[in-house]
Amino acid sequence: MGCVNKSKVKALWLYRDTFVALFFPLLFLPIIIIDGEKDIGDPGCCNPSSLDCEAGTVCEYDSRNVARFAYCLFVMGSFWITECIPISVTALLPYILFPLFGLVSAGTVAVNYMKNTNFLLLGGLTVAVAIETSNLHRRIALGTLKTIGSSPRRLMLGFILISWFLSMWIANTAAAAMMIPIVTAVLEELKKNKEDSGIENKSFAENEVAPLEESVTEETSDFDAESQKSTEPNSTVNDQKNELSLVEKGMILCVPYACSIGGTTTLTGTAPNLVLQELWQERYPDAPYSLNYIQWLGYNIVNSTVAIILMFMYLQAWYLGVRCKSNPDQDKRVRKLIEKSWKDLGKMSQEEILVLIAFVILVLSWFFREPGFMKGWIDLFPEPDFITDGVPALFIGTILFLIPAEETGLICGKLENGPSRSVLTWKTYQAKMNWGVLLVIGGGFAMANASDLSGFSSWFASGLQRAVEDLPTYAIAIIVSILAALFY
């Protein structure tokens, strides 16, 4: 009977996504019973200095709309957390739910999915695809590792620096996807070396022993130590496996950690930065300064540098140990792997050179669009305000579909050879492009818009204000940061 029950439970577990997709919408359904009208007031929603607003005006919202938006928020949040349906598909739910609940029209929701910020992200992802298809990221990574070294500490430092640098200029998700295969190749070589060396080989970090084990070894005699080794022949092998497991975890984790930190450095490094820029332009169009590329970089470069140093120290201490000594034989083997991979790349191809030039031009165009300390290149055009960071990003991305990746017969070579393929082709672009990111960002914009129009933002902000109004500023900043991290 127990076996039958276990098999049924196992079979039902296969349908868990279906159950989750049905359970959470039904669980939160009682929220929409709330049906108040004009019963939520927000005296701070209107600026008395504005010509369109009289002093003392109070905006009124319907608790019915607040409740219905909360229902949509909870359902989408549960779907995103459980991934019962793909994340990108969940991002399309605002276009379905908001019009059905009478919160926002379908046309208003649709506009949020292709805002200016989405085009900026599209251009950045296009350049990232070109970097990946041309293998330029491998050349940068292997060149850095070849220069830094092959010991455990140096390898981790190399992976961190490369991931941190790449995620500054392209989306951090794309940078992580580029780096993980390189890290995996190095780890596979380390595992192979462990398996070939057997028990006699020293550990990857031979002094990485727990303090308790060290104290026990010091208190026992040589005879006791030898007898212990003889009675536990597999202890050395198990220790080696555990140490390699720690090294593997540290090497893998350092890539997404570094990409997340590097993504905060520049405006295009990660999607939330772009979301903030879009909302800033909408809410504060008359602000004395804007969140352009150079201003964001100048503010966050110091924070990012400090964070990456602390992260490196933490991973080193936790996964490699404070006293990390490498095995010379293993370092030599890893170094040969890196050198062999570097030689296999050969000389820089025309495609790599062109992608590198395009990448540098894009970064410089972002930097000098509106640098602040001098006039930017947008002042050369009749309407400078019409040009945003998305324009050069999409321009460079489009150019990559035109320039030849190899020698073409029209410029050099024989005409009979015909034209060369372009650096980016639509087939490879479709295969490598992460379209889902654009939908997720659009879904976030749609939720933010509906949150404002329904009154949910004002209701939540008023409650939060009453809860923290007596706290010091630093405590308020900590609470808001924690809430933002939980929502993210």
pLDDT surpassing 50 at residue 212: no
Largest CA distance in the chain: 91
**pLDDT 10s digits, 301-328:** 999 999 999 999 998 888 877 665 666 7
b/e sequence 28-50, b meaning 16+ C-beta within 10 Å:
beebeebeeeeebebeebbeeee
Taking residues 409-435, what's their average pLDDT? 76
Q: What is the pLDDT of residue 215?
A: 37
Helices (H), 368-472: 390-399, 426-432, 435-454, 456-468
**pLDDT 10s digits, 467-488:** 888 888 888 888 888 887 776 6
pLDDT surpassing 70 at residue 217: no
Q: Which two tokens stand for residue 298?
A: 């100048």
Domain boundaries of the chain, sorted by first residue: 20-85+455-488, 121-432
**pLDDT 10s digits, 82-103:** 889 999 999 999 999 999 999 9
b/e sequence 235-254, b meaning 16+ C-beta within 10 Å:
ebeebbeebbebbbebbbeb
pLDDT band at 108 (very low <50, low <70, confident <90, very high): very high
Residue bearing tokens 């159950």:
19
Q: Which of 266, 281, 261 is nearest to 366 (CA)?
A: 266
Helices (H), 346-389: 350-367
How buried is residue 371: exposed, middle or buried, by Cβ count under 10 Å (0-12/13-18/19+)?
middle
pTM across the whole model: 0.71
Residue bearing tokens 């804007």:
290
pLDDT surpassing 70 at residue 152: yes
Q: Are 207 and 323 in contact (CB under 8 A)?
A: yes
Q: What is the pLDDT of residue 238?
A: 53
* Range scoring the smallest mean pLDDT among 10-14, 185-189, 367-371, 382-386: 185-189
Q: Which of 333, 332, 320 is nearest to 242 (CA)?
A: 320
Residues 6+ apart with CB under 8 A from 432: 129, 132, 133
Residue bearing tokens 């329904």:
454
Taking residues 364-372, what's their average pLDDT? 81
pLDDT surpassing 70 at residue 184: yes
pLDDT band at 293 (very low <50, low <70, confident <90, very high): confident
What one-letter code names the amino acid at 231? T
Taking residues 327-339, what's their average pLDDT? 77
pLDDT surpassing 50 at residue 123: yes
CA 59 to centroid of chain Cα atoms = 38
Q: Which of 440, 459, 446 is nearest to 72 (CA)?
A: 446
**Angle (deg, nearest 10), helices 435-454 and 93-100:** 20
Q: What is the pLDDT of residue 410?
A: 52
- Provide the terminal-to-terminal Cα distance of the chain, rounded to the nearest Å: 45
Taking residues 220-240, what's their average pLDDT? 45
b/e sequence 391-409, b meaning 16+ C-beta within 10 Å:
bbbbebbebbeebbbeebe
* Residue 192 CB coordination number (10 Å): 12
β pairing state of 59-61 and 40-42: antiparallel
Across all residues in the chain, what is the average pLDDT? 78
Q: Which two tokens stand for residue 289?
A: 């300064």
Q: Which run of H or E residues covers position 262?
A: helix 235-263
Q: What share of the chain is helix, strand, coil (3-state, %, to 5)?
A: 70, 0, 30
Q: What is the pLDDT of residue 98?
A: 95
DSSP for 301-333, please give it.
Answer: HHHHHHHHHHHHHHHIIIII-SS----HHHHHH
pLDDT surpassing 70 at residue 57: no
**Angle (deg, nearest 10), helices 136-148 and 350-367:** 90
Q: Which run of H or E residues covers position 40?
A: strand 40-42
Instruction: Return the DSSP state at 82.
Output: H
| C-alpha to C-alpha distance for 236 and 221, rounded to whole angstroms | 19
371: left (phi over 0), alpha (psi -120 to 50) or beta: alpha
Residue bearing the bigger pLDDT, 392 or 46: 392
